Structure 1
Amino acid sequence: MTASIEALFPRDGRDDLVALRAVDADELARYVADPANPWWQRRPCATALAGRVPEQRVPELLARVRDPQEVGEVRKALLDALAEQAGTGLLPWLQHEDQRHSRSIGMPEAFLKARGVLGDRTATAELATLANDPWRHQHVVGAAGLDALIARYGLAALLADLGDLQRPEDRVLRTRVRHLTGEDVTDMLADPDRAVAHHAQSLLSDADRLREYLGGAPTTEAKLWAAYALHRLTGDTARTRAIYDTLGRPRVEVAGVDEELRKAIVHQYGHRCQRQSDPRWRIEALCTEQPEPTDQDEQLRRATTALLAADQAPQPPLSCGQYHQQGDGTYHIIRFGGARPLLVSTLGRFVTAQDADPAIRRALESAGFRWIDATTGAIQVTGLCVYHFGAREALDVRTLLFYWQD
C-alpha cells in the first residue's frame, strides 16, 4: 500500500493530485493517519481526500488535526478535507478557545477558515478581520471562510452578523458584498478610513459614473480617490492633471522636506504606497514631473573621487543588496578606512554616513552631492505608508532615500 502511493511522487517533487485522487480513499486515509510516513507526501494525500473521507477513518484523521506536534501543512490539508464533510464533529473542537489561539504558525487562521466552511456564523467578524489583512496569504484564508458563509447563508445574513459596521474591515466586507450584488459602491470613496476607500476604488469600473461623482463628492479625499480610479481605468494623465489643478493641487505638506527631496520621494513611493496612504501622494506622483534620472555609475565615480580628495581609501562601491548579501533598495555603499560606510542614494544626489569626519562631508558637497544630516534624515514623511520589514507605516527621510528590503 505505502509503496504504491509513494510511487506517485516523482523525483522532481511535484504532486500528482490527479493520480492521487484515483487512489482508493481508505488507502489514502490510512497513509495520512500514519505519522511515520513523510509529511510532504501525507499533505497532498490529505488534499486528495477532499469530498471522500471514509467515515471509518474520521477519528484517526481528527487525531492528526488535534495533535499539536503534527506538521502544520498536514493539519491544514486535513482541516480542508474534513470541513467539507458533514458529521465529523470537528466544529465544537474548533470553537474551543485554546484551539482558536494555537501558537502553531498558520493554524489559528486555518481553524478560523474551517469554522467558516462548517457554517459557524460566530466566526464572521474574525474572518472579516483576516480577509482584510494586507498579507495576501492571510487575506486568501479569510476570504475563503467568508465565501463559504456567504454560499450557505447569503449576503444579507453575513452583513447582519457584522452589526453596526463600526470597524473598517467590516465596511470593506460590506463594500465587497455590495459590489458582488451589482450595487454601485462609488459612495464608499468618501469612507473616512483610507483602506476602505482604496478597496472601493479598486472595484470601480464605470468611468462615466466616476466623472459624474467628481462634481459632487463630499470631500477632497473622495474626489482624489475618484480621480485615481478614473486614471486607473483610462490612463488619461492629462485629464487627471486637469482634475488635480481644479482641486487646487492638494498635497501633504511636510515641514523640512524641500522640493528636491519631495520629488525624489514621491516619484519613488507614490505609485506603490500602501492602501492606508493619503491619496494626495498618489495623485501627486501621477501629476508632477519626475526628477531627472540619476547616472549611477557617474555618481559613484564622483563620490569615490571625493573620498580620495579627503585622504580616504574608498573600496569599490557595492549595491545595498550586495552589501547585505540579499534584497535590494535605493542606495550604494562605499566603505573607506575604519569609518562607517558612505551611503549614496540612487534617487538623486543624496549621500550620508554616520559619525563622518566633517572633511568628508565638505569634499562630497564640493563634488555636487547633498549631505543628509541627522535632522533632515529624521523627518517623518506623513501619510505616505511604505512597506518596510513587515510594517506599513510612514517612514523618515533617511529610510526612504536609503531604503533596503531583504
Structure 2
Amino acid sequence: MTSIDALIPFERPHDPAALRARDADELARYAADPEHHWFRRRACAEALTGRVPEERVPGLLAVVRDGEETAELRVALLDLLAPLGDRAGLLSWLRHPDRGQDGPYGLRQAFLKARGVLGDRTATAGLADLAANPWRHLRELGEAGLDALADRHGLATVLADLGAARPEDRLARDRLRHRAGPDATRHGPARSLADPSAGSLGGFLADSLADSLADPDRLVAHQAHTLVTDPDLLRTLLGSNPPEEAALWAVCALHRLTGDDAEARAWYERLGRPRVEVPGLPEDVRRAIVHEYAGWCEPGTDPRWRVEALCTEPPAAVDVDVQLRRVTEALSAVGIAFEPPVSAHQDNGAGEGSYHLVRLGGDEDALFASTLGPFVGGADDSPARPALERAGLRWVDEATAGTTVTGLCVYHFGERGPLTVDTLLFYWQD
C-alpha cells in the first residue's frame, strides 16, 4: 500500500480524495505523531473531517494545546475537533486569558472562531470585531464563529448579545439578518419600503435598508449596498428623499444589480451631481484618478467617488508607447541624456504600478511618466520640465503631487486610507 508520506509530497499538491480513502484511525495516529512533518499531519487532519475516531480525540486535542507545535497544524486540528463539542475541557482552555494574547499569526483568531463553534456567547463581541477585519481570511473566521452561534442559540439571542452601539456590531447584525432571510427576525408589522410579500427583498434590507445605507460608518453602509437584491426596493428608497449618502449607496447598488448606466446617471443628475471637492486637484488629474481607482477602492470610500466614476465619462485610454515616445523625443530635442524608460515593475523588481521611470543622465534626476494620463512628475526644478510641458504633457508639480485625495480609500502596503496625488498617479504595489 502506498504510504501516507508518498500521498502527501512536498513538491506538488497532494490528492485529497486518495487521502480521505485511507483508514481514519491511521490518519488520526499520523496527525498526532510529532515524528512526522507538520505539513503532512495537517493534510491528514483535513482528511479526517466528519470521521474522527473517538478514542483518538484526546491525543489530537493534546496537539492543539501544545504551544511548541506549528500553528497551522493546531488550527487544522481545532477546525476538525471543535464541531465535535466541548471535549476534555476544550472550551475552558480556549477561554483562558493566555489564548487571547498575540502569538503565531492567525492562532488567536482561530481560537476565537472555535469558541463560537462551541457555542460560547462570551465570544460574540470579539467575533464581531474579527468579522469586521479588512483581511478576508480573518474576516471569514469571525463570520463563521458568529454563524455557529446563531445556529446554536438562535438569531434573536445573538442579535441581543451584539446590540448596535458599535459599527462592528451593526455590521455583524446586518450580515446575520441577511443570512437568515427576510422573515427570520420580523415581529409585528414590517417597516418595509415595499410590500414584503412581493418576493426577495434582500433579507434584513427589506426592513432597515435606509438606516443601514445611511449608517455613519461607511463600512456598514458599504456592506448593506452589497447585500440588497431587489432593484425595485432601491428605486422606492431613492424616490423617498433619503439622506444623500444613503441615496448614493442605493445608486451604486442599483447599478450593480441592473448595469443600467442611463438610470444611474438619471439619479445622479436628480441628486445634483454630488462630489467630493478637493482643493488643488486639477480636473484632468481628478478624472484619471477616479476612473482608475473607484472600481477597486476600499469599502470606507465616500460613495460620491463611486457614483462619480459610474456616471461621468472616463478619460481616453493612454497609449503608453506613444506617451513614452513623446517623453523621450522631448528630452532628446533639448539634449537631455536619459536612460530607457522602465516600468514600475522593473523599477522595483516586483509588483505592478501605474508609471514608468526615466532616469536622466549626469545626476540623480529622474522622471515619472504615469500610465493613467499625460502626466509626468519629478523635482519642480528639473531641467526636463519646460521641454515636457512644451510637448503637451502636464507636469505634476510638488504642490499638486502632495494633495491628498480625501475620501477615496485605496489599498497601499497594508493601509486603506486616502492617498496623495503622486502616489495615485505613480502607484506601485508589491
TM-score, reference length from structure 2: 0.89
1:95 aligns with: 95
Distance 2:147 2:336 in 1: 63
Q: What does the per-residue CA deviation read over 1:328-376, in whole Å, with 9 as the maximum and x for residues that have no partner?
A: 111111122232421000111111124x654221121122111112211
Instruction: Verify the 8 A CA contact 2:342 2:356 in the aligned structure 1.
Output: yes
Which residue number corresponds to residue 162 of structure 1? 162
Contact 1:51 1:84 in 2 (8 A): no
Q: Partner of 2:404 in structure 1?
A: 380
SS in structure 1 opposite 2:133? coil
Contact 1:82–1:88 (8 Å) recurs in 2: no
1:6 aligns with 2:30: no
Residue identity in the other structure for 2:151: A
- Separation in structure 1 between the aligned mates of residue 265 and residue 294 of structure 2, nearest angstrom: 15
Deviation string 1:181-240 (CA, Å, 9 cap, x unpaired) is: 213142211211111111111111111111111122431111111111111111111111
Which residue identity lines up with residue 404 of structure 1 in the other structure? W
Q: 1:341 aligns with which of 366, 369, 379?
A: 366
Picking from 250, 253, 261, the partner of 2:285 is 261
Residue aligned with 2:416, SS: strand
Q: Secondary structure at the match of 2:384?
A: helix
The residue matched to 1:271 in structure 2 has which SS?
A: coil
Answer whether contact 1:21 1:49 (CA < 8 A) is retained: yes
Tell me, yes or no, if the aligned pair for 2:28 and 2:53 is still in contact at 8 Å.
yes
Who is 2:190 aligned against?
none
Q: Is the 8 A contact 1:190 1:217 kept in 2?
A: no
Conservation of the 8 A alpha-carbon contact between 1:310 and 1:359:
no
After TM superposition, give the deviation of residue 11 of structure 1 in Å.
Answer: 7.2
Is residue 2:424 matched to residue 1:400?
yes
In the TM superposition, 1:223-242 aligns within 5 A as: 223-242=247-266
1:28 corresponding residue in structure 2: 27
Unpaired segments of 5 or more residues in structure 2? 183-203
Q: How many angstroms apart in 1 are the aligned matches of 2:52 and 2:14?
A: 19
Contact map agreement 1:334 1:343 (CA 8 A) in 2 = yes
Once structures 1 and 2 are overlaid, which stretch shifts more, 251-260 or 96-105? 96-105
Structure 1 range deviating more: 83-92 or 386-395:
83-92
- In structure 1, the partner of 2:201 is none
Alpha-carbon distance in structure 2 between the residues aligned to 1:320 and 1:307: 20
Residue 218 of structure 1 pairs with residue 242 of structure 2: yes
Q: Residue 28 of structure 1: CA displacement?
A: 1.6
**8 Å contact kept, 2:82–2:118:** yes
Q: What residue number does 2:188 align with?
A: none
Alignment correspondent of 2:299: 275
- Structure 2: distance between partners of 1:368 and 1:186: 48
**Cα distance in structure 2, aligned partners of 1:358 and 1:84:** 65
Rounded Cα–Cα distance in structure 1 between residues aligned with 2:80 and 2:368: 53
Measure, in 2, the Cα distance between the counterparts of 1:104 and 1:10: 25
The alignment's TM-score, normalised by the length of structure 1, stands at 0.94
In structure 1, stretches of 5+ residues that fail to align are: none
Q: CA offsets per residue over residues 368-406 of structure 1, 9 Å max, x none?
A: 111112211111111100111111100011111111111
Contact 2:8 2:43 in 1 (8 A): no
1:186 counterpart letter in structure 2: L
What is the aligned partner in structure 2 of residue 207 from structure 1? 231
CA contact under 8 A between 2:340 and 2:358: conserved in structure 1?
yes
Contact 1:380 / 1:397 at 8 angstroms: preserved in 2?
Answer: yes
User: 1:178: how far off?
Assistant: 2.3
Give the structure 1 partner of residue 15 of structure 2: 16
Distance of 2:304 and 2:359 partners within structure 1:
38
Alpha-carbon deviation of 1:309?
Answer: 3.4
